[in-house]
Amino acid sequence: MTVIDIIAKTRDRAPLSRAEFDFLARGAANATIPDYQLAAWLMAAYLNGLSDQETANLTLAMADSGERVDLAGLPKPWVDKHSTGGVGDKTTLVLLPLLAACGLTVVKMSGPGLGKTGGTIDKLASIPGFRTDLSPDQMKEQAGAIGIALTGQTPALAPADKVLYALRDVTATVPSLPLIVSSILSKKIAGGAETVILDVKCGRGAFMPDLERATELSAALERVGSQAGLRVKTVVTDMDQPLGRTAGNALEVKEAIRVLKGMESGRFTQLCLHLAHAMLATVGMDADPSEAIRSGKAIAKMEQWVAAQGGSAEVFTSENWQVAPSHTEVTHTGGSAWVESIDAETVGLAVVGLGGGRKIKSDTIDPRVGVETLIEVGDAVTPGQTLFHVHAADHHAAEAAGQSLAGATRFSAVPVSPRPVILS
Give least dist CB 89 to ligand URA, A: 13
Catalytic residue from among 80, 89, 122, 161: 161
Residue 83 in the binding site for ligand URA (CB under 6 A): no
Q: Are 346 and 408 in contact (CB under 8 A)?
A: yes
Active site residue 187: yes
What's the DSSP call for residue 363?
P
Cβ 174 to ligand URA shortest distance, Å: 6
Closest distance to ligand URA from the beta carbon of 301 (Å): 27
Catalytic-residue membership of 161: yes
Span of 180-188, 211-219, 338-346, 403-411 interacting with ligand URA by CB under 6 A: 180-188
| 184 touches ligand URA (CB under 6 A) | yes
How long, in residues, is the chain? 424
Burial class (CB in 10 A: 0-12, 13-18, 19+), 64: buried
Contacts of 64 (CB under 8 A, 6+ apart): 22, 25, 190
Nearest to ligand URA of 111, 383 (CB atom): 111
Q: Give the whole-angstrom CA distance, residue 76 versus residue 33.
A: 40
Q: 154 to 173, contacts with ligand URA by CB under 6 A? A: 165
Where does this chain touch ligand URA (CB under 6 A) — which range of 6-14, 176-184, 210-218, 310-318? 176-184
Instruction: Identify whether the C-beta of residue 230 lies closer than 8 Å to the C-beta of residue 194.
Output: yes
**Site membership for ligand URA, residue 55 (CB under 6 A):** no
Note the Cα 137 to chain centre separation in Å: 24
Q: What is the DSSP string of 85-125?
A: --TT--HHHHHHHHHHHTT-EEEEEEPPPBTTB--HHHHHH
> What b-and-e string marks burial along 145-158, b requiring 16 or more CB atoms within 10 Å of the CB?
ebbbbbbbbbeebb
DSSP annotation of 422 reads B
Q: Should residue 180 be labelled a site residue for ligand URA when binding is judged by CB under 6 A? A: yes
Catalytic residue among 80, 81, 82, 182: 82
Q: Draw the binding track, 249-268, toward ligand URA (x: CB under 6 A; -: no contact).
A: --------------------
Distance in Å, CB of 186 to ligand URA, minimum: 9
Question: Which among 179-187, 298-306, 403-411, 414-422 is the span making contact with ligand URA, rule CB under 6 A?
Answer: 179-187
**d(Cα 151, Cα 110) in Å, to the nearest integer?**
6
Distance between CA atoms of residues 99 and 370, nearest Å: 28
Give 8 or 114: the residue with its C-beta nearer to ligand URA.
114
Determine, following the binding rule CB under 6 A, whether residue 236 of this chain makes contact with ligand URA: no
CB distance 352 to 115 below 8 Å: yes
Task: Assess 183 for contact with ligand URA (CB under 6 A).
Answer: yes
Residue 196 contacts ligand URA per CB under 6 A: no
Nearer to ligand URA, 84 or 142 (CB): 84
Which whole-number Å values give the CA distances from 49 to 200, 228, 278, in the listed order? 21, 18, 30
Q: How many residues bind ligand URA (CB under 6 A)?
A: 6
Smallest separation (angstroms) from ligand URA to the CB of 112: 12
Contact positions toward ligand URA, by CB under 6 A?
A: 84, 165, 179-180, 183-184
Q: Please identify every residue annotated as catalytic.
A: 82, 161, 168, 183, 187
